[in-house]
Structure 1
Amino acid sequence: MDLLALADFNLVARHGGFGRAARATGRPKATLSRRVAELEAGLGLRLLERGARVLKLTEEGRALYERTGALLTEIDETAAALASGGARPRGRLRVSAPLLFAQTAMGKLAAGFALRYPEVRLEVTTEDRPVDMVEEGYDLVIRVNPDPDENLVGRIFLRDRLAVVASPALVRAAGAAAVPAVVRTTSVQAAWRVMEQPEIAIDPVLRLSSLVMVRDAVRAGVGAGCLPVSLVSRDLAAGTLVSWGDVAGPEIALWALYPSRRLLSARVSAFLDYLKAAFPKGTPDELAAYLAG
């Protein structure tokens, strides 16, 4: 495939027509038209529907544009960085983050990153569902204990653990009696497994969709809750909540992931480095201190 012809096709697709692309770049309209026609002939596909006044991408053309536009932009940025002797982050950076991390930490992180890298246009969306990074146009996603994916690479930047916590006024039931509990709306657990202790049977008296809401309800004394330590660290230190024990099971690991087949752009590298600088140890206490700061 001719990369120059592919670049011209992306140029025309981005500007919505040969004339607009020619005016924006100073390239001859006839040259752009010829290069796109050569690309179509080489692929054996029609990429553009050429009407009298309107130009539209075909289904194949849209798929090619969506899959190659970001790659060509990254190649251009890399070449420009090498030519200038440095990799100054710039351009759009789309990040997807899980709800709890977005609610508690992402606003502060995003603001600090924007101040440090004013030429990057950071866009953060909140998604707890798995996203298709390539199809949905994300540069980086933050996920909790993600399933293995051969198309993604990344690193752990934070670790946390779960603990059962409650108001000091809430009496823990003796024996097998269930304790009142505040749980997530998606929870189906009948008991919490606490390390080196008997299971805690629970009676869900309140179901809430957000862990922040669960914490606030536990603070109010409605029932016990199973929460990340980083979210209740200050309450435990102040004695407004008490711990009934750490939950048995795998640790909570927050990963920053990006497509393995995509060049790592300067803006993605800068964001990864910023996460590492914000949480150099990656511990629950460090996250709690960051949230309190």
Structure 2
Amino acid sequence: MDLLAIADFNLVAKHGGYGRAARATGRSKATLSRRVADLESRLKLRLFERGTRTLTLTEEGQALYERSRVLLTDLDETVNAIAGGGARPAGRLRISAPLLFCQIAMGKLAAQFAEKYPEVQLEVTSDDRSVDMVEEGYDLVIRVNPETNEALYGRTFLRDRLVVAASAQLKRPVGSDPAPAVMRSSSQPHPPHWDVMLEGQHRRLVIEPVMQLSSVIMVRDAVRAGAGAGLLPISLVSQDLEAGRLVSWGDADGPEIALWALYPSRRLLNARVSAFLEFLKEVFPTGAPEELAAYINT
């Protein structure tokens, strides 16, 4: 099998066309076209559907791309590791992480990682959307409770939980009286109540939204100011709870919050990605909410 032909096929598939691949890599468009045509002839398969202006992968082409891009990445990393002779991680490491995690922890993590691995050029982008790691060139993404993706691998490195917190001066409603609630902006309708666990019992807290804010940090600050109760990560308000500035009206009765570090290949991980994963494990050895709270409050 012609490895160069497969590599050129991957370039065209990744960039979505011969012209784009040629401009991005400096390769000849004619050479790329000839290599892909030779590969299709050898395999006796059509790998691309060619329209007047578009080029899309066939089902067979998509299958070959998904498998071969991982193998080519592994091969490239193996060659780099051998050539580097086991040198310390170096080069660019691109990470995408949720906005809240970036605001409360990522700056400090980046500084400490850079001090430990000065040869790595770290680039962090805050983004809550589901990014395409391959197309957008990310080495690692951090996501909260991500959906299953067969193309990605990963591990949980932190866990958190939600608590209904309110100012100590705000009286908790009795019975079915609604509680003033500071809500996070959402495209979905807000629920009429929060289900919580308090003193080992299930409770239903009827709520009346008094404001909607676009970030969790703003929700916390409004709750601190006494505007209403808010559903907040325990790691973000634990210090306020301990100091008595806020009080807990119960833990949210729902799934836990899990932060995952995701990457596109589980074999022969990029040395920079491996170093960052080990660094996360050192900073958060158990992944408990208390570790994150202590880290951001130190």
* TM-score normalised by length of structure 2: 0.78
Aligned residue in 2 for 1:117: 117
- How do 1:232-247 residues align onto structure 2 when only pairs under 5 Å count? 232-247=237-252
Alignment of 1:185-224 (within 5 A): 185-186=185-186, 188-195=190-197, 196-224=201-229
- Contact 1:95–1:142, Cα closer than 8 Å, also in 2: yes
Give per-residue Cα distances to partners, 1:237-282, cap 9 Å, x unaligned.
1111111111111111111111247742111111111111111111
- Could you tell me how far apart the structure 2 residues matched to 1:142 and 1:120 are? 18
The Cα RMSD (Å) is: 3.1
The amino acid that maps onto 2:119 is E
Q: How does 1:137-216 map to 2 (within 5 A)?
A: 137-186=137-186, 188-195=190-197, 196-216=201-221
Q: CA deviation at 1:69?
A: 8.1
Unaligned runs of 5+ in 2: 12-20, 49-53
**What is the CA–CA distance in structure 2 between the aligned matches of 1:185 and 1:117, rounded to whole Å?**
38
Inter-CA distance 251–234: structure 2 relative to 1 (3 Å threshold): same
Q: 1:113 to 1:70 in 2, by over 3 A?
A: farther
Does residue 97 of the first structure (1) align with residue 102 of the second (2)? no
1:231 alignment partner in structure 2:
236
Distance 2:277 2:248 in 1: 33
Distance across 1 between alignment mates of 2:191 and 2:178:
12
Contact 1:5 1:36 in 2 (8 A): no
Matched AA of 2:26: G
Residue in structure 1 matched with residue 26 of structure 2 by the alignment: 16
Query: CA distance change for structure 1 residues 214 and 150 in 2, over 3 Å: closer, same or farther?
Result: same
181-190 or 201-210, which deviates more:
181-190
- CA drift of 1:37 comes to 4.3
1:272 to 269, 277, 286: 277
Tell which deviates more after alignment, 128-137 or 241-250: 128-137
Task: State the secondary structure of the residue aligned to 1:169.
Answer: coil
Q: What is the Cα deviation at residue 12 of structure 1?
A: 6.8
Matched ranges for 1:28-177 at <5 A: 37-38=34-35, 40-43=37-40, 72=72, 75-86=75-86, 88-177=88-177
Paired residue total: 268
Contact 2:96 2:126 in 1 (8 A): yes
Work out whether residues 192 and 201 of structure 1, in 8 Å CA contact, stay in contact via their aligned partners in 2.
Answer: yes
1:24 alignment counterpart: none
Give per-residue Cα distances to partners, 1:102-135, cap 9 Å, x unaligned.
Answer: 1111111112222222222222112212222222
Counterpart of 2:141, as a letter, is V
- Please state whether the residue corresponding to 1:194 is helix, strand or coil: strand
Partners of 1:110 and 1:260 lie apart in 2 by 23
Contact in 2 for aligned 1:160/1:230 (Cα 8 Å): yes
Q: Is the 8 A contact 2:153 2:266 kept in 1?
A: no
Structure 1 residues 71 and 268, CA gap change in structure 2 (3 angstroms):
farther
The share of aligned pairs that are identical, in percent, is 60
Counterpart amino acid of residue 128 in structure 1: D
Deviation at 1:221, TM superposition (A): 0.4
Q: Which amino acid aligns with 1:169?
A: Q
Q: CA deviation at 1:35?
A: 8.8
* Residue ranges of structure 1 left out of the alignment (5+ in a row): 19-32, 48-57
Partners of 1:39 and 1:185 in 2: CA distance: 48
